[in-house]
Amino acid sequence: MRVAVPRLLGVLALLCLAFPLHAQTTGSIRGTVETGGTPLPGVTVEAKSPNLQGSRSGVTDAEGRFNLTLLPPGAYTVTATLDGFAPKVQTLQLSLGQAAVLRLELLQAQAVEITVTAQAATVETESNTVGRTMDAASFQALPTGRNYASVAQLASGINTDTSDVRQTSITVYGATGLENAYMVDGANTTGVEIGNQGKVMNFEFIQEVEIKAGGYEAEYTGAQGGILNVVTKSGGNEFHGDVFGYWDDDGLQAENKHLDEIAAEGVPFGFTRSDYGADVGGYILKDRLWFFGAYDHVKNTDQRQVTQGPAAGTITVERETRLYGALYAAGAVASRSLLEVWYNSDFGRGSFPGLPLVYRAASTWQVKY
């Protein structure tokens, strides 16, 4: 039997394109090195960060250009060195998926070393994506919900979508909550059943959240709404951790004085919400082997009194329990990452009036070389 090789290769190419690429989990720093307006080739440019094992370095080309890629988000110190010139040091904050651009000016060797602190550009000139990026320090200081998706509402064009009674979602410029895509550490965690948020994660375990409301890259497929791109915390050359606990019930809130407006959903009769856990990260070998681990236990109970139909007057109880765990390890040789391993597990159980007992379990393994 004869095989049409060109046709077969075409089919294989289409199959490869049918699988979406992983989302961005890093950024890049590129730019030029000059002296008096003249490009400088052969300059060594090195970037270091507490979130980066070792360092990333490159050498400028004949046009004085450099490009440092695969950089995790965080604070960076960029150093440019060349014999006969004074070193130039510049610091900047690199966001998730950002392509930062620097212009470094080297002076003659008799000049002293210069350190410049770069500020984020007011107008984004490297991307046409509409959205917002926030790091842990930003959204932990704001009065938002515990779910990382709640911080997305800080971006323009995003609001709450309550059409799913089991899970409050977000709507991006009018799209429903089932038209978004949720990416965690580069993996698509969107619910396969109906397209809702498949993995619920509290922001204690998150390093940075990127909200893309429009104009996003072709690698993000299968979404007609927005993209929530999340990078979780990792280890480092210093130990860090958290122990947290949250408790809330109806006794801590004022009574609702507008019961007639919510009669169709039932009159609130009482609720309790508890959320506690811990996380720890650090190193086994500095700049060689990092680790991070996290655990979270969430339990919610909601009671309502039915006001309509044959069951009027009865009390319904909704219960939800969720367990979340995460493990991360990364090993490096010299200044290059050798192996990174992520494991995320999310188990939930819920009971809702008129619905069967609902179980949810989602686990994600990732190995990056």
**pLDDT digits 0-9 by tens, 79-116:** 999 998 989 999 999 988 888 999 999 988 765 556 66
Could you tell me if 300 and 265 lie in one domain?
A: yes
Rounded distance between C-alpha atoms, residue 284 and residue 71, angstroms: 21
Long-range contacts of 121-129 (CB under 8 A, 24+ apart): 125/101, 126/98, 126/99, 126/101, 127/97, 127/98, 127/99, 127/215, 128/215, 129/97, 129/212, 129/214, 129/215, 129/216, 129/217
Q: Is residue 9 part of a domain?
A: no
Q: What is the pLDDT of residues 229-263, one digit of tens each?
A: 888 888 888 898 889 888 888 877 777 666 665 55
- 149 forms beta bridges with none
Q: What pLDDT score does 20 carry?
A: 42
Q: What pLDDT score does 350 carry?
A: 64
Q: Is residue 169 part of a domain?
A: yes
Q: Is residue 351 part of a domain?
A: yes
Q: What pLDDT score does 164 carry?
A: 61
- State the CATH number of the domain containing residue 139: 2.170.130.10
Per the structure, the complete domain to which residue 44 belongs is given by 21-117
Could you tell me if 228 and 261 lie in one domain?
A: no
Q: Is residue 90 part of a domain?
A: yes
Could you tell me if 156 and 51 lie in one domain?
A: no
Q: What pLDDT score does 76 carry?
A: 94
| Residue 7 CB neighbours (<10 A) | 9
Q: What pLDDT score does 80 carry?
A: 95
Could you tell me if 250 and 357 lie in one domain?
A: yes
Q: Is residue 218 part of a domain?
A: yes
Rounded distance between C-alpha atoms, residue 209 and residue 93, angstroms: 15
Could you tell me if 103 and 192 lie in one domain?
A: no
Per-position pLDDT tens, the chain of length 369: 444 544 544 444 433 333 344 556 788 999 999 998 899 999 999 999 988 888 899 999 999 999 999 898 889 999 999 998 989 999 999 988 888 999 999 988 765 556 666 554 545 566 667 778 888 777 777 777 777 777 777 777 888 776 665 566 788 887 877 888 888 887 788 876 676 777 777 778 888 888 888 777 777 767 778 888 888 888 888 898 889 888 888 877 777 666 665 555 667 778 888 888 999 999 888 888 888 888 888 888 888 777 777 767 677 777 778 777 777 777 765 544 556 776 667 666 666 555 566 666 666 666 766
- Domain count of the fold of the chain: 3
- Domain end residue (candidates: 232, 263, 285): 232
Q: What pLDDT score does 42 carry?
A: 94
Q: Regarding beta strands 88-94 and 114-117, do their DSSP bridges make them parallel or antiparallel, or are they unpaired?
A: parallel
Could you tell me if 367 and 244 lie in one domain?
A: yes
